[in-house]
Structure 1
Amino acid sequence: MNKVGIIGGLGPESTVEYYQSIIKKYQQRLGSQEVLPELVINSINMYQVFTFISNGNLDGLADYLTKAVNTVDTAGADFAIISANTPHIVFEKVQENTNIPLISIVEETYKQAESLDLNKMGLIGTKFTMEHDFFKQPFRDGNTEIIVPHEQEQQYIHEKIVAELENGIVNQETKQSYLEIIERMRKEDGIEGIILGCTELPMIIKEDDLDIPELNTTDIHINRTVDQILHS
Structure 2
Amino acid sequence: MRTIGLIGGLSWESTMIYYQIINQRVRERLGGSHSANSLIWSVDYTTVEDLIFADRWDEVSTLLAGAGGNLADLGADLLLICSNTFSRVSDDVERAVSVPVLHIADAVGAEVRARGMRKVGLLGTHFTMEQPFYRDRLAAHGFDVVVPQREQRELVHRVIFDELVRGVLRESSRDAYAQIIDDFADGGADGVILGCTEIELLISAKDSAIPVLPSARLHAEAAAGFALAG
Which of the five TM-score ranges fits, normalised by the shorter chain? over 0.9
Deviations 1:191-217, CA, capped at 9 Å, x for gaps: 221000011111111112223121111
User: How far apart, in 1, do the equivalents of 2:132 and 2:210 lie?
Assistant: 24
- Quickly say closer, same or farther: Cα 1:152–1:223, change in 2 above 3 A: same
Query: Which position in structure 2 is the counterpart of 1:95?
Result: 94
Query: Aligned-pair distance for 1:229?
Result: 1.4
Matched, 1:10 2:10: yes
User: How far apart, in 2, do the equivalents of 1:167 and 1:46 lie?
Assistant: 10
Per mean C-alpha deviation after superposition, the further-off stretch among 145-154 and 45-54 is 45-54
User: How far apart, in 2, do the equivalents of 1:49 and 1:136 lie?
Assistant: 22
Query: Which position in structure 1 is the counterpart of 2:144?
Result: 145
AA of the residue aligned to 2:195:
G
Deviations 1:130-153, CA, capped at 9 Å, x for gaps: 111111112333442111111111
Query: Which position in structure 2 is the counterpart of 1:24?
Result: 24
User: How far apart, in 1, do the equivalents of 2:163 and 2:141 lie?
Assistant: 34
Query: Which position in structure 2 is the counterpart of 1:134?
Result: 133
Query: Aligned-pair distance for 1:39?
Result: 1.2
Query: Aligned-pair distance for 1:222?
Result: 0.9
- Is the partner of 1:22 in helix, strand or coil? helix
| Residues 1-232 of structure 1: pairs in structure 2 closer than 5 A | 1-32=1-32, 34-187=33-186, 189-232=187-230
Q: Please list every run of at least 4 consecutive aligned residues from structure 1 whose deviation after the TM superposition is greater than 6 angstroms.
A: none
Deviations 1:44-69, CA, capped at 9 Å, x for gaps: 12233333322222222211110010
Deviations 1:133-188, CA, capped at 9 Å, x for gaps: 1111123334421111111111111111112211222111110010001112222x
AA of the residue aligned to 2:5:
G
Query: Aligned-pair distance for 1:16?
Result: 1.4
AA of the residue aligned to 2:95:
E
Structure 1 gaps, min length 5: none
CA contact (8 A) 2:105 2:138 kept: no
User: How far apart, in 2, do the equivalents of 1:51 and 1:149 lie?
Assistant: 25
CA contact (8 A) 2:17 2:217 kept: no
CA contact (8 A) 1:53 1:128 kept: no
- TM-score, scaled to structure 2: 0.95
- Is the partner of 2:52 in helix, strand or coil? helix
Query: Aligned-pair distance for 1:119?
Result: 1.3
Structure 2 gaps, min length 5: none
- TM-score, scaled to structure 1: 0.94
AA of the residue aligned to 1:201:
I
Q: Figure out how many residues of one structure are paired with residues of the other and give that number.
A: 230
CA contact (8 A) 1:26 1:36 kept: yes
- Is the partner of 2:49 in helix, strand or coil? helix
Per mean C-alpha deviation after superposition, the further-off stretch among 75-84 and 42-51 is 42-51
User: How far apart, in 1, do the equivalents of 2:8 and 2:141 lie?
Assistant: 30
